[in-house]
Chain A
Amino acid sequence: MRQQKKEFAMKTSAERYNAIDKALHWAMALVIVGMLVSGLVMGDVQPLALKFQVIQLHKSFGILVLLLAFTRVFWRFTNPTPRLPLGMPHWQKAIAHATHLALYGLMFVMPFSGWLMSDAKGYHPNFFGLPVPVLGEVDRAAGRLLGDIHEYGAYVLIGLIAAHMGAALFHHFIVKDDILTRMLK
Chain B
Amino acid sequence: MRYGMMMVAGMLAVAGQGFAATQWAVDKAASKLEWQARFNGQVVKGVFKAWTADIAFDEKDLAGSKIKVDIQLGSVDSGDDDRDGTLKGADFFNVTATPVAVFESSHIVKEGDGYMADGTLTLAGVTKGVSLPFTVVIANGKADAQGKLTLSRKDFGVGKGQWATSTEIADNVDVLVHVQAVAK
Closest CB of chain A to B158's CB: distance in Å? Answer: 15
Closest Cβ neighbor of B46 among chain A residues: A122
* List of B residues within 8 angstroms of A48 by Cβ: 162-163, 168
Are B40 and A140 touching (Cβ within 8 A)?
A: no
Count of residues in B whose CB is under 8 Å from the partner chain = 16
* List of B residues within 8 angstroms of A140 by Cβ: 79-81
**Mask of B42-60 contacts with A, CB within 8 angstroms, 1/0:** 1011000000000000000
Closest CB of chain B to A49's CB: distance in Å? Answer: 6
Chain A residues numbered 79-129 whose CB sits less than 8 Å from any CB in chain B: 120-124
* List of A residues within 8 angstroms of B42 by Cβ: 123-124
* List of A residues within 8 angstroms of B135 by Cβ: none
**Mask of A132-144 contacts with B, CB within 8 angstroms, 1/0:** 0000001110011
* List of B residues within 8 angstroms of A170 by Cβ: none
Distance A47 CA – B163 CA, assembled complex (angstroms)? 10
* List of B residues within 8 angstroms of A75 by Cβ: none
Are B162 and A143 touching (Cβ within 8 A)?
A: no
Distance A49 CA – B167 CA, assembled complex (angstroms)? 8
Which of A47, A52, A56, A143 lies in contact with B79, CB distance below 8 A? A143
Chain A residues numbered 128-166 whose CB sits less than 8 Å from any CB in chain B: 138-140, 143-144
Closest Cβ neighbor of B163 among chain A residues: A48
Are B168 and A49 touching (Cβ within 8 A)?
A: yes
Closest Cβ neighbor of B40 among chain A residues: A52
* List of B residues within 8 angstroms of A49 by Cβ: 162, 165, 167-168
**Mask of B67-101 contacts with A, CB within 8 angstroms, 1/0:** 00000000000111111000000000000000000
Are A122 and B162 touching (Cβ within 8 A)?
A: no
Are B40 and A56 touching (Cβ within 8 A)?
A: yes
Q: Contact residues of B with A, CB < 8 Å? A: 39-40, 42, 44-45, 78-83, 162-163, 165, 167-168
New A-B pairs, 20, CB < 8 Å, besides A49-B167, A122-B80, A123-B39: A48-B163, A48-B168, A49-B162, A49-B165, A52-B40, A121-B80, A121-B82, A121-B83, A122-B44, A122-B78, A122-B79, A123-B42, A124-B42, A138-B78, A140-B80, A140-B81, A143-B79, A143-B80, A143-B81, A144-B81
A-B contact pairs, 26 of them (CB 8 A): A48-B163, A48-B168, A49-B162, A49-B165, A49-B168, A52-B40, A52-B168, A56-B40, A121-B79, A121-B82, A122-B44, A122-B45, A122-B78, A122-B79, A122-B80, A123-B39, A123-B42, A123-B44, A138-B45, A138-B78, A138-B80, A140-B79, A140-B81, A143-B79, A143-B80, A144-B81
